Amino acid sequence: MTSADVAGIDTRRDADGYAPINGYAAIGDGRSSALIAPDGSIDWWCAPCMDAPPLLDRLLDAPEGGRFVLQPRDSQHVQRRYRHNSNVLETEVRTASGTARITESLNSGPAGRLPWSELARRVDVLDGSVTFDLLYQPGNRGGTCTPWMSETPNGCVHHVGPVMTMLHYSPRLQVETCDDRQVRGVLVLDAGEQDIVALLASQDEVLPVPPLQEIDTRIDRSDREWRQWVADLKCTSTYREEVICSALALKFLWFAPTGAIAAAVSASLPERIGGDKNWDYRYAWVRDAAYVIKAFLRVGATPDAKAGFSWLMTTIGRHRPGLAPCFTLRGERVEEERYVEVPGYRNSQPVRVGNTATDQLQTCGYGDVMEMASRMIDAGHIFDPSTARLLFELAEECADGWMRKDSGFWELEDMQHYTMSKVECWMALRRACELAEKGHITTARLPRWQREKERILDWIDAHCWDEARQTYVMHAGSDRLDASLMLACRFGLADVRRERFIATRNAMRRELCDASGDLLWRYSGMQECEGTFISCAFWMVEAYGLLGEPEEAKRLFESLLARVRNDVGLMPEMWDPATEQGLGNTPQGLSHLALIHAAFAVAGK
């Protein structure tokens, strides 16, 4: 039980109507995910798919944005939790007149995801009488359309561009307004009574309208499917509950139609309030997807790991030559970045769609792919000929191109010889050599790869090590530090340069940490520009645990669990240590997969 369970959670919004970023819970169906604020407002839902323009976007436009609100009057105490081993959310609300439980789910069907979107909200009044105010206000899909209502013989629907929606409810809901822009009503229930309201959506297809009882039944069916997914896992971590929670969070990023894995559910949430670092993360980054696949392998989610691996390798193969940093969830190149004319979270501008990283050179991607492939083999799986051939080609490409300047791990416009990129190229060839030596890919270039990986390591020592400060620096010729290098412990750099790695780790703790010593900024100079990067702190846990220092690894890991996870265990990308508030997109895959790996690292695994 957390302190939030005892004290309840804060449901207040700021003066402009924005809820805290780290206050959101999520529900998902393997195709899209919705974000629910503590006060009962669903503020973000891209329907029918997570990379579509948002149907609900109050998250980025508190005054006018789309929302689906189910809010008890005179609320005094709110507690939330996910059902055990599930992504079905339960919220218990105590009001001045009674207590109610709201159960929320993006429903699935008996054979997986439904061919339409079905967001269900069930209300049970436990004692007394509770009055709920309901508001469905469709958004305008990022300013691309205006919603309008039509009366059909089978019910009232709202059209939002190509998406057709219906608010499906029982006669108990007293509808006060139903027009082009909103449906507003009041629901009053007494002890022992139950009701359900659902938001249905479909794009350019017929919109099914199931009986409410069927929708209600699917809430519990969806819960059973989530629990079965967890039951099939093989997680041996001491922190099993926290690991399972983060594994379930990664499922919010899962795009079942293809097997792609998005970096985050949301878009354009700021890394600094009022700043311009507001990125669209609803795409599949090679790095993030590879890390998630490794996390799925660690917890025994073999079907998810296989699907993600196959999608990623197929997509990379379709876009050869080269290795693009990111793709759409359908495996295409990401569109050029453009701005959307909405206010942005707490007026943080601009609001972006698309991503500029799509055309960057990021040589670190070779290491991410080869490391992921190596872990697939370690788990006992077998490459098909086309995958083995593609891995050979990528290793050759890495051997040819590792000396090029690139945008680095952090996707910067300043092209440099980034140390982490060189480390990942070294790792890529190291893993390629291992795979070739064990017979998983051809040995045709093995002698070359063996020589080249040693040249990369020598180059790193000659150009990226600062002898005076006793640390690896961010890039050749720089005096800045880069916290991403803590990942190099898992990648094997500490095996061959242990003393230098430990010295670098200690320099990071001195120069990149907040006052507590637990959170880290990404690299030197970011203290004034953005929040600390949650993943970096979990990578620091690995840098202790994997080097035989379990006490500090455990202390740091448990400090982070208490500090950066919200009441339902979700985490954003960043954390502001001054305000103790989340920043950046949420839930963030990198944060959750880093927690999973760190949990195992505490025990030296």
- Residue pair 43/269 in contact by the 8 Å Cβ criterion: no
- Residue pair 295/597 in contact by the 8 Å Cβ criterion: yes
Confidence at residue 111, expressed as pLDDT on a 0 to 100 scale? 65
- Residue pair 348/388 in contact by the 8 Å Cβ criterion: no
What is the pLDDT averaged over residues 542-562?
97
Cross-strand bridge partners of residue 174? 186
How sure is the predictor about 163, in pLDDT bands with cuts at 50, 70 and 90?
A: very high
Q: What is the DSSP letter of 517?
A: S
Nearest to 581 by CA among 511, 529, 527, 534: 534
Percent of the chain surpassing pLDDT 90: 96
What is the pLDDT averaged over residues 499-518?
97
Confidence at residue 582, expressed as pLDDT on a 0 to 100 scale? 98
In angstroms, the CA 352 to CA 278 distance is 7
421-466: pLDDT as tens digits: 999 999 999 999 999 999 999 999 999 999 999 999 999 999 999 9
SS3 label, residue 515: coil
SS3 label, residue 92: strand
Percent of the chain surpassing pLDDT 70: 99
338-387: pLDDT as tens digits: 999 999 999 999 999 999 888 899 999 999 999 999 999 999 999 999 99
Tokens of 83: 């059902």
Confidence at residue 229, expressed as pLDDT on a 0 to 100 scale? 96
Q: What distance lies between CA 333 and its chain's CA centroid?
A: 20
260-279: pLDDT as tens digits: 999 999 999 999 999 999 99
What is the pLDDT averaged over residues 230-236?
94
Sign of the CA dihedral running 142, 145, 149, 152: negative
Quick check: 7 pLDDT over 70?
no
Confidence at residue 8, expressed as pLDDT on a 0 to 100 scale? 79
This prediction has a pTM of 0.96
Residues 170-198 as b/e (b if ≥16 CB within 10 A, e otherwise) read eebbeeeebeebbbbbebbbeeeeebbbb
Confidence at residue 3, expressed as pLDDT on a 0 to 100 scale? 41
86-139: pLDDT as tens digits: 999 999 999 999 999 999 999 997 767 899 999 999 999 999 999 999 999 999
In angstroms, the CA 41 to CA 204 distance is 27
What is the pLDDT averaged over residues 523-552?
97
397-426: pLDDT as tens digits: 999 999 999 999 999 999 999 999 999 999
What is the pLDDT averaged over residues 16-39?
97
Domains and CATH numbers, the chain: 3-229 (2.70.98.10), 232-601 (1.50.10.10)
Quick check: 281 pLDDT over 80?
yes
In angstroms, the CA 70 to CA 238 distance is 38
Tokens of 130: 């509770």
Quick check: 567 pLDDT over 50?
yes
Quick check: 1 pLDDT over 60?
no
In angstroms, the CA 581 to CA 429 distance is 40
What is the pLDDT averaged over residues 3-13?
71
Cross-strand bridge partners of residue 513? 520
In angstroms, the CA 552 to CA 145 distance is 53
